[in-house]
Structure 1
Amino acid sequence: MEEQRKSENALVPALRFEGFSDPWEQRKVGEILQIAFRAVDLEDDKKYQLVTVKRRNEGIVERARMAGRDILVKSYQEILAGDFVISKRQLVHGGNGLVPPHLSRSIVSNEYLVIEESKDISTEFWALISRTKSMYRQYFLSSFGVDIEKLVFDVQDWKKREITLPKRREQEKLETLFQKLDSLIALHQRERAGV
């Protein structure tokens, strides 16, 4: 039964990297999602780096550095380099990103969903597909509220939705390709700006 379901949900893209022929599969997000929650017990005299997620897939940035006693909401979690972080209140606006190494061990409130790599999908691939129209649509459909500026992401609803993905080796190839493209675009923009 499981094999039949897999073959029915298999897709073969028209354009592939050489050496890859395995079909891509449609999988429920909940089957492959690896959520992390590393609770932080805030100490009054200790300083903590708080971060936030910018809209339009512009990543994780510093928000403030504060002592534990000055942080009003006490339900925080630690994020690590390579985690994929989603703002539950800004996701429909592209509020997500990978944690860069220099912000590892920063903290975010429970208004954020922190995703770790799983055996089926890398966090870099989550970041890559989060920029696609189909994932934006899923994020929107899995959000609720009456005003686009105040929509809240429903993780449980999102877990029931399906995404199409290749095996990890092909994900890595796609990640590398898009990293190179991003670097070329950035270089071209710097050259045009005369930097």
Structure 2
Amino acid sequence: MVTTRPLNPTAASLLGFLHDGPQTGWDLVAAAELRIGAFWTLTRSQVYRELAAMADAGLVVAGEPGPRDRRPHSLTDAGRKAFAAWLEAGPGAETIRVPMLLTVTFGRHLEPGRRAEIIVADRQRHQRRLVAYRDLSAALEGTDPYAEATIAFGVAYEEAALAWFDALPSEITGGR
């Protein structure tokens, strides 16, 4: 049954990956983790739920089961059109959801030593991601301007996050 439903960004990203050819849910999870995982999270259950909904809507078609009963999904013409319409509409406003900001907002309720440990650990995560983005940027150089632009955002974001950590007052960081 073909129906029309507005695409959410998760479904749209799966349709985007399917432009590369038929893929199983497993393949799509791996592609998402590699290509967008640093800035857009997809759970395995979301992928399978969206694939089922998109198959019901006629946007994808499931192929014959392969090894481990995995079914490759292919993009239909309706899926291509729905993806193009979603992409053409523009991204809309983003929502900033940074768990560390919640921790800082309510940080006065934490023991100072624990608050400092949390801040140090989160700053280290951002530092590791910055290194990973820079490595990926170097590996991608000259290969794909779209991927390079996305990674450049990741680099700039991590640099901004690290600058924010470094500017936190000592009363929040405990002098660390």
TM above 0.5: no
Judging by fraction of residues, say which structure has more helix.
Answer: 2
Judging by fraction of residues, say which structure has more strand.
Answer: 1
Question: What TM-score bracket applies, with the shorter chain setting the length?
Answer: under 0.3
| Larger radius of gyration between Structure 1 and Structure 2 | 2
Higher relative contact order structure (alpha carbons within 8 Å, sequence separation ≥ 6): 1
Q: TM-score, normalised by structure 1?
A: 0.25
Q: TM-score, normalised by structure 2?
A: 0.27
